[in-house]
């Protein structure tokens, strides 16, 4: 696993004494002014850039220059090698959009720093942005660290590379904001963004570099380093428990499956929230093999599992109050070896329900159903959230811009929608209902694993999962469209995005007991 060694630190001195590679001032659109104590020489550049129409603080605009040329001997010189003004855009009325403006600016800073191969960067925080200081620091830090992400462990290093560099340390100067609040926000932003980068690393690893055993090892490793408890149910434990879904999908693979269990415990008195993530480390489709074009992307079929395991890590590092959190990652490959599951086979999920296999490529629901049923029985959670790259159909419906959300509980759905919006990871609710569930009626078993046509594929997949959650409030996030090649942004590169980690963290940080009110599964209410 690649270590994310970049750090973000507070800088206590005068920004003009910072002698690193790049000194950065975020600037709001139409407000041509820098933090009150900024050097006069930099004010002059800003005014000139403004007058020339080159830099107006517009969203993602950037102006890079060399302060060494500005020294008139009338004030202590700026020591940094370069200065960057970066536009924040106009302050939006919506607080979540303002959060996003800061993340985007952080991503632009990381990108510009990469272009000039800056190793040490100092960012002076904006003083007039209408957001709590802790949030300004958190969101900007998220943008910096996420925008600085690279994955290159398999590339042989080349001296003459013209690839962008990677920043070693981002320093933050609190400007006119309270330093303690900025330190707190910076720490939270760094922990969350590093968790997302780790989820991206797991996903970027090829199928032969990230197998179920790697999920198990990583779970044990983070448990050693934190207050988390980790238990790994191996193949024989899964057999004893009757986890027929995970075992069936695993039949065609030479590698054993596992179920990774991570527990974050505060107090017995507190409710438990259960997180479940699909950890399919490669999905060939099995006997119903996928077409070869693009099949390599199916190494990403473990992104739900990566989101859950790294969210657990972030939760343990930042701490959340008043709630226990349990994370489950069912992990296996879906291959077409000689013992592979076949269409027509009948299997039994955990709990005994029989399933007629129609399509071996609809395997995610089989491994999730075991984990959901087992997790609910064992931990009696107040709420369950699962994340999975479950259906190609969600990409047809929502593209790569929104995660699909399906739920049996309106209040929980609303909370996820709000958490996603706060984290800049938008979600969109789709309906459930008996008319869709009917598509899964089997002639020979209790249920079949796929409908006979492809209509409403995302909904029927969720209907399958719903069978295994009973009355427990539950939200399913179909991240097949957003886990990779997600809406490209300054802080979201091509490839895996690490989506879900920050949404889960935002949800759990604000956790309050759920209202008793139940569900109206047919009504998809948008915010
Ligand atoms: N892992 C895939 C879903 C997927 C497809 C994610 C494309 C990202 C991009 C899943 O296991 C799958 O193959 N689902 C099938 C279900 C169908 C056979 C009922 C699908 O969506 O085609
Ligand atoms: Zn599949
Ligand atoms: Zn799959």
Complete DSSP assignment for 9-77? EE--S-GGG--SSEEEEEEETT-----TTS-HHHHHHHHHHHHHTS----TT-EEEE-GGGG--SSSPP
Burial class (CB in 10 A: 0-12, 13-18, 19+), 326: buried
Place of tokens 């790569």: 400
Q: Which two tokens stand for residue 374?
A: 């087992």
CB atoms within 10 A of CB 339: 11
Residue 278 CA, closest ligand 1 atom number: 1
Check if the beta carbon of residue 203 is closer than 8 Å to that of residue 296.
Answer: no
| Contact status, residue 416 vs residue 503, Cβ threshold 8 Å | yes
Catalytic residue at 365?
Answer: yes
pLDDT of residue 6: 55
Is residue 284 in contact with ligand 1, taking CB distance under 6 Å? no
Tell me if 75 sits within 8 A of 40, measured CB to CB: yes
Give Rg (Cα) of the chain: 24
Whether the Cβ atoms of residue 474 and residue 87 lie closer than 8 Å to each other: no
Closest CA to 256 of 274, 273, 243: 243
Q: For residue 369, what is the enclosing H or E element?
A: helix 364-379
Q: pLDDT truncated to tens, each residue of the chain (527 aa)? A: 545 555 899 999 999 999 999 999 999 998 988 877 899 999 999 999 999 999 999 999 999 999 988 888 889 999 999 999 999 999 999 999 999 999 999 999 999 999 999 999 999 999 999 999 999 999 999 999 999 999 999 999 887 777 888 999 999 999 999 999 999 999 999 999 999 999 999 999 999 999 999 999 999 999 999 999 999 999 999 999 999 999 999 999 999 999 999 999 999 999 999 999 999 999 999 999 999 999 999 999 999 999 999 999 999 999 999 999 999 999 999 999 999 999 999 999 999 999 999 999 999 999 999 999 999 999 999 999 999 999 999 999 999 999 999 999 999 999 999 999 999 999 999 999 999 999 999 999 999 999 989 999 999 999 999 999 999 999 999 999 999 999 999 999 999 999 999 999 999 998 999 997 554 544 444 44
Distance CA 45, CA 78 (A): 13
Per the structure block, which two tokens stand in for 475? 């939200």
DSSP string covering 384-398: EEEEE---THHHHHH
The distance from CA 454 to its chain's CA centroid, rounded to whole angstroms, is 28
Distance CA 98, CA 119 (A): 28
Q: Report the candidate in 203, 233, 200 with the shortest Cα–Cα distance to residue 219.
A: 233
Q: Distance, CA 219 to ligand 1 centroid (Å)?
A: 26
Q: Write down the pLDDT at residue 7.
A: 87
Please tell me the predicted confidence (pLDDT) of residue 525. Answer: 45
Q: Is the CB of 498 under 6 A from ligand 1?
A: no
Marked catalytic residue, from 103, 188, 190, 365: 365
CB of 368 shorter than 6 A to ligand 1: no
Residue 183 CB–ligand 1 contact under 6 Å: no
- 298: tokens are 């199916």
Rounded to the nearest angstrom, the gap between the alpha carbon of residue 186 and the centroid of all alpha carbons in its chain is 18
pTM above 0.85, yes or no: yes
Ion ligand 3 — residues with CB under 5 Å?
A: 280, 283, 301, 364
> Catalytic one among 90, 117, 231, 290?
290
SS3 content of the chain, % helix, strand, coil (to 5): 35, 20, 45
Check residue 526 and give its pLDDT: 45
Of ligand 1's listed atoms, the one at least distance from the Cα of 393 is 21
Q: Whose CA is nearest to atom 22 of ligand 1?
A: 392
Neighbours of 436 (CB within 10 A): 23
Nearest to 28 by CA among 127, 117, 97, 120: 127
Task: Please report the pLDDT score of residue 289 as a whole number.
Answer: 98
Which ligand 1 atom minimizes the distance to the CA of 481?
8
* CA separation for the pair 179, 176 (Å, rounded): 9
Please, what's the largest Cα pairwise distance for the chain?
Answer: 88
Q: Is 287 near ligand 1, meaning CB less than 6 Å away?
A: no
- For residue 363, which atom of ligand 1 is closest to its CA? 11
Contact 341, 347 (CB under 8 A): yes
- Does the Cβ of 361 fall within 6 Å of ligand 1? yes
pLDDT given for residue 1 in this prediction: 52
**Residue 231 a catalytic site member:** no
Q: Is the shortest distance between the CB of 249 and ligand 1 below 6 Å?
A: no
Q: Rounded to the nearest 5 degrees, what angle is found at the Cα of 125, between the Cα atoms of 120 and 127?
A: 165
């Amino acid at each position: 696993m690649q270590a994310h060694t970049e750090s973000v630190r507070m800088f206590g001195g005068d920004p003009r004494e910072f002698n690193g590679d790049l000194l950065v001032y975020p600037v709001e659109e139409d407000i041509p002014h820098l933090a009150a104590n900024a050097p006069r020489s930099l004010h002059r550049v800003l005014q000139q850039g403004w007058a020339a129409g080159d830099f107006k603080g517009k969203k993602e605009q950037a102006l890079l220059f060399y302060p060494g040329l500005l020294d008139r001997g009338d004030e202590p010189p700026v020591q940094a090698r370069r200065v960057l003004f970066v536009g924040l855009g106009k302050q939006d009325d919506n607080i979540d959009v303002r959060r996003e403006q800061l993340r985007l600016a952080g991503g632009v800073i990381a990108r510009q720093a990469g272009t000039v191969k800056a190793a040490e960067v100092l960012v002076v925080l904006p003083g007039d942005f209408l957001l709590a200081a802790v949030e300004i620091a958190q969101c900007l830090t998220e943008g910096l660290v996420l925008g600085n992400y690279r994955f290159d462990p398999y590339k042989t290093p080349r001296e003459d590379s013209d690839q962008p560099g990677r920043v070693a340390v981002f320093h933050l100067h609190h400007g006119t904001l309270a330093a303690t609040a900025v330190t707190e926000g910076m720490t939270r932003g760094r922990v969350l963004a590093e968790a997302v980068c780790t989820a991206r690393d797991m996903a970027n690893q090829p199928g032969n570099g990230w197998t179920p055993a790697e999920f198990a090892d990583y779970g044990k490793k983070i448990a050693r380093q934190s207050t988390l408890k980790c238990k790994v149910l191996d193949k024989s434990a899964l057999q004893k428990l009757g986890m027929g879904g995970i075992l069936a999908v695993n039949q065609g693979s030479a590698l054993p499956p596992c179920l990774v269990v991570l527990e974050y415990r505060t107090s017995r008195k507190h409710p438990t929230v259960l997180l479940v993530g699909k950890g399919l480390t490669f999905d060939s489709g099995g006997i119903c093999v996928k077409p070869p074009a693009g099949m390599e992307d199916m190494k990403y079929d473990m992104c739900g599992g990566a989101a859950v395991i790294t969210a657990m890590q972030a939760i343990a590092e930042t701490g959340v109050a008043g709630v226990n959190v349990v994370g489950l990652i069912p992990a296996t490959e879906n291959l077409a070896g000689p013992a592979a599951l076949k269409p027509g086979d009948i299997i039994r999920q955990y709990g005994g329900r029989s399933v007629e296999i129609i399509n071996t490529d609809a395997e995610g629901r089989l491994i999730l159903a075991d984990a959901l049923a087992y997790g609910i029985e064992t931990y009696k959670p107040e709420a369950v959230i699962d994340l999975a790259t479950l259906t190609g159909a969600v990409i047809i419906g929502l593209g790569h811009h929104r995660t699909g959300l399906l739920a049996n509980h309106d209040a929980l759905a609303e909370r996820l929608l709000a958490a996603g919006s706060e984290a800049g990871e938008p979600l969109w609710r789709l309906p459930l209902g008996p008319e869709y569930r009917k598509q899964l009626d089997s002639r020979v078993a209790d249920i079949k694993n796929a409908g006979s046509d492809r209509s409403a594929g995302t909904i029927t997949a969720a209907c399958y999962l719903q069978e295994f959650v009973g009355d427990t409030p539950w939200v399913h996030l179909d991240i097949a469209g957003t886990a990779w090649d997600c809406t490209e942004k300054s802080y979201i590169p091509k490839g895996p995005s690490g989506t879900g980690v920050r949404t889960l963290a935002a949800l759990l940080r604000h956790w309050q007991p759920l209202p008793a009110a139940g569900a109206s599964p047919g009504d998809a209410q948008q915010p």
